Amino acid sequence: MKHLLTLCLACLIVPPAQAARRVGEAEVRAGANGVPCFTISQREEERGGTPNFQSVTVTGGAGKPAMWRMDMPRERTFPVAYSMCIPYAGRVPALPQAPALPLESGKVYTVEIDTRPGKGGAMPLRYQARFCLARGPGGGTVVRHIGVNDRAGRFLYGCLASPD
């Protein structure tokens, strides 16, 4: 009985062999025609290299349905580098994707880039970021990346127009 109790205690103390991987930082910036585009952060590339692309999903927040999704077929992939950017609703005929819903100004969205396991065991399998579209000067729309430590504040991360 004493040995069984010791074994149970040892199982609770020893960390699991496969520790959960961290979520990496994605980056959101303005692409062609001011459309949001997505990639991994420069810091992530410097830290772990370029992961192999699996899918990209944009949602209106946690637990909400996808606004847009694009998946890579199992037999194909490409490295996601900081220097490249995957445009929202980008049309790559060979890739399965859902139709993109229109993004609205003043709403916060989440992007998740899922990757395939690579050489580096510590490399994240998911990269995530938040962003919004905000009204810019002259009534145009600007893409605003919301940093990990940014707080919502009165104007929702700068996503809402301030009263003049």
Nearest CA-CA partner of 52 in 127, 109, 130: 127
| Tally of domains within the chain | 1
CA-CA distance, 49 to 150, in Å (whole number)? Answer: 26
Q: pLDDT per residue over 64-100, tens digit each?
A: 889 999 988 888 888 899 999 999 998 766 676 778 9
Mean pLDDT of 135-152: 85
Q: Establish if 13 belongs to a structural domain.
A: no
3-state secondary structure string, 83-138? CCCEECCCCCCCCCECCCCCCCECCEEEEEEEEECCCCCCCCCEEEEEEEEEECHH
Return the pLDDT at 139: 77
Q: Establish if 2 belongs to a structural domain.
A: no
- Name 99's Cβ contacts closer than 8 Å, sequence gap at least 6: 68
Domain that holds residue 75: 21-158
CA-CA distance, 159 to 107, in Å (whole number)? Answer: 7
Q: Establish if 9 belongs to a structural domain.
A: no
Residue 25's H or E segment, with its range, is: strand 24-30
pTM for this predicted structure: 0.80
CA-CA distance, 112 to 130, in Å (whole number)? Answer: 9
Which sign, positive or negative, has the C-alpha torsion 64, 37, 142, 150? positive
Q: Establish if 16 belongs to a structural domain.
A: no
120 falls in which pLDDT band (50, 70, 90)?
A: low
Q: pLDDT per residue over 12-30, tens digit each?
A: 444 444 456 789 999 999 9
Q: Establish if 50 belongs to a structural domain.
A: yes
Q: Establish if 27 belongs to a structural domain.
A: yes
